[in-house]
Structure 1
Amino acid sequence: MEDLFKELDCLKASIDEAMEAAVSGYRCDVPLIREAMAYSTEGGKRLRGAIVLSTYKSLGGNGDAMPFALAIEMIQAYSLVHDDLPCMDDADMRRGRPACHKKFGEAMGVLAGDALLTLAFETACTSDLPPYRVVEGIRALAYGAGAAGMVGGQVLDLQPEMSNDRIDEATPADPAGQSDPAERVRLMYRLKTGRLFETAARLGAILAGAPDKIVRRAGDAGMSFGVAFQILDDIEDASQGGTEDQKATLPATISLEKAREEAIMGLQRCQELCRQFAGPDYLLGRLAAHYLVSKLG
């Protein structure tokens, strides 16, 4: 696993350096918003960006996919800024320091998130890869981050906190397609967390010019990993006695042991899919193997 950590560290360092240049060097007439944006993009594992870059390279890409790695990390950062707002999760801390809205104020938290979301697409547009691939990449990024993906998942995450009247008004047809609480949680996981990991893997494949079949398979591997990633995060939180304000989680809904089994199956499926389209050295497959051993072994 030492080689895996070295590769992750190398990719993270490259993304961190490029992110600092992109955000801190961004030209705008209001330094305060740039400061809040830079603050919000510091830290983090950069897993999604790393998956973009490694998938692109594994599938034969020989250009620069960094603009898309930055774009997906900017979207991830914006989502965390907005998640922490009082109207959402109402969190005071993020990565061991005050959340953006606690440091800069609630309004600036909203605006910093907005600015990062728009900068993500501006950054993706700077790619010098073939234009038709850039367009497809931007489309995939927008889909994964929007109502059919991360934003939709956040809506499901917030629904237990809404009144019954508001839920009926917002979701008259039950968008989860299931009245089963566990199925609703699974859908939330797929949309809120899984979709962006799916998008990261799809982006790498799209930008490398992979066939549609490989793009779909890469996306499926990313989705399987992302859902397992969220399950493991909630298992860890539950094991430490965290309740996250009574929000619905899979461990709380079906039990810790059954949630653990689902995480194992998801990581194993991710490994198998990765072997099918990228071989044994592909980062995402090795990352799934690492989580199986370190988190579930």
Structure 2
Amino acid sequence: MKDTFSTQRRTIDAYLDQHLPPAAAPPARLHEAMRYSVMAGGKRLRPLLALAACEAVGGAAAVALPAACAIELIHTYSLIHDDLPCMDDDDLRRGRPTCHKVYGEALALLAGDALLTLAFSWLASAHDCTAAQRARLVCVAARAAGSQGMVGGQVADLEATGQAPDEQRLAFVHTHKTGDLITASLQAGGIAGNGTDGQIAALAALGEQLGLAFQYVDDILDCTADAETLGKTPGKDTAAGKLTAVAVYGLEGARERATAHTAAAHAVLKARNWQNTLLGALAEYVTARTS
């Protein structure tokens, strides 16, 4: 499985490198900033989930590649904006200075805007997908990224900073700020792979549980890992008074809930006989990761 994931990561990186605007093309500084953030590496979890979901419903992974990489652009845009001083104010991402530390706040903001726009261009023009599939991909991504999805989760996260820990608000933030784009990745793979409505609904249910498990693990690692392991500044959320699972439940309580959401994800995989697929292996990684 590790070899397969390494191969798919290389395929994803090659597609991104080939289809992003060349760094030398005007406006060159903007394109440099876009490439700096997208090609910084990272886990490529969301595009990997999309490719695995496509295969799980019987499609060829290559069919989902444009949509998978579009989701990665949306994710990267969100990281650029999340790191800005007006948001989480972070200096380190993926083991190197954040986009705004290198290119300035204004250009970082515009680089994120450009990546989000480009993502929808890739979705709308995804080859090997029908017009109906492309329209559905656009709708899924827009819902996951907008005010009722990731952006709404970010707003709730900002509003909760410095407030008393609140279980319901935490669930909202985790579901939308992190979970919705993970769910959209799985749905996109299912749509591109021409999955049935039942299969795509199961992928959405899986995404909900994996997204929550992922964020619980993320909150735990923020308290237990170091900067070299994480590739970003550890302990910053706690120091800033952010709403986290550890703040609400304590470290052991957060671990218990991560385990519960992991079990729920595996129940979905088992019900669809997906536990021994690449999708099942990725689900294992999401919940057992150390960075």
- The normalised TM-score by structure 1 is 0.87
Secondary structure of the 2:20 match is helix
Partner AA of 2:235 in structure 1? G
Deviation above 4 Å: which 4+ runs of structure 1? 290-295
In the alignment, the residues of structure 2 paired with residue 142 and residue 78 of structure 1 have an alpha-carbon distance, to the nearest angstrom, of 14
C-alpha distance after superposition, 1:50-88 (max 9, x if no partner): 111111122111362111011000000000000011110
Whether the aligned pair in 2 keeps the contact of 1:58 and 1:278 (CA below 8 Å) is: no
The answer to whether the aligner puts 1:78 opposite 2:82 as a matched pair is no
In the alignment, the residues of structure 2 paired with residue 149 and residue 27 of structure 1 have an alpha-carbon distance, to the nearest angstrom, of 34
Match of 2:198 among 207, 213, 218: 213
Q: 1:291 to 1:87 in 2, by over 3 A?
A: closer
Residue 61 (structure 1) aligns with: 59
Aligned-residue CA RMSD (Å): 2.1
In the alignment, the residues of structure 2 paired with residue 31 and residue 278 of structure 1 have an alpha-carbon distance, to the nearest angstrom, of 48
Alignment: residue pair count: 277
How far the C-alpha of 1:287 sits from its partner, in A, is 2.5
Residue 180 (structure 2) aligns with: 195
Q: Which runs of 5+ in 1 are unaligned?
A: 165-178
Whether the aligned pair in 1 keeps the contact of 2:50 and 2:64 (CA below 8 Å) is: yes
Q: 1:260 to 1:111 in 2, by over 3 A?
A: same
In the alignment, the residues of structure 2 paired with residue 294 and residue 53 of structure 1 have an alpha-carbon distance, to the nearest angstrom, of 19
Partner AA of 1:84 in structure 2? D
In the alignment, the residues of structure 2 paired with residue 99 and residue 292 of structure 1 have an alpha-carbon distance, to the nearest angstrom, of 26
The answer to whether the aligner puts 1:17 opposite 2:14 as a matched pair is yes
Q: Which runs of 5+ in 2 are unaligned?
A: 226-233
Partner AA of 2:59 in structure 1? G
Q: Which has the higher contact order (CA 8 A, sep 6+)?
A: 2
Whether the aligned pair in 1 keeps the contact of 2:183 and 2:208 (CA below 8 Å) is: yes
In the alignment, the residues of structure 2 paired with residue 194 and residue 100 of structure 1 have an alpha-carbon distance, to the nearest angstrom, of 24
How far the C-alpha of 1:198 sits from its partner, in A, is 0.6
- The normalised TM-score by structure 2 is 0.89
Q: 1:226 to 1:145 in 2, by over 3 A?
A: same
Match of 1:35 among 32, 50, 67: 32
Secondary structure of the 1:70 match is helix
How far the C-alpha of 1:46 sits from its partner, in A, is 0.5
Whether the aligned pair in 1 keeps the contact of 2:213 and 2:287 (CA below 8 Å) is: no
Residue 258 (structure 2) aligns with: 263
Whether the aligned pair in 1 keeps the contact of 2:165 and 2:247 (CA below 8 Å) is: no
In the alignment, the residues of structure 2 paired with residue 271 and residue 93 of structure 1 have an alpha-carbon distance, to the nearest angstrom, of 33
After the TM superposition, which residues 1-297 of structure 1 pair with which residues of structure 2 at under 5 Å, given as runs? 3=1, 5-25=2-22, 29-42=26-39, 43-62=41-60, 64-128=63-127, 129-161=129-161, 181-240=166-225, 242-244=235-237, 245-290=240-285
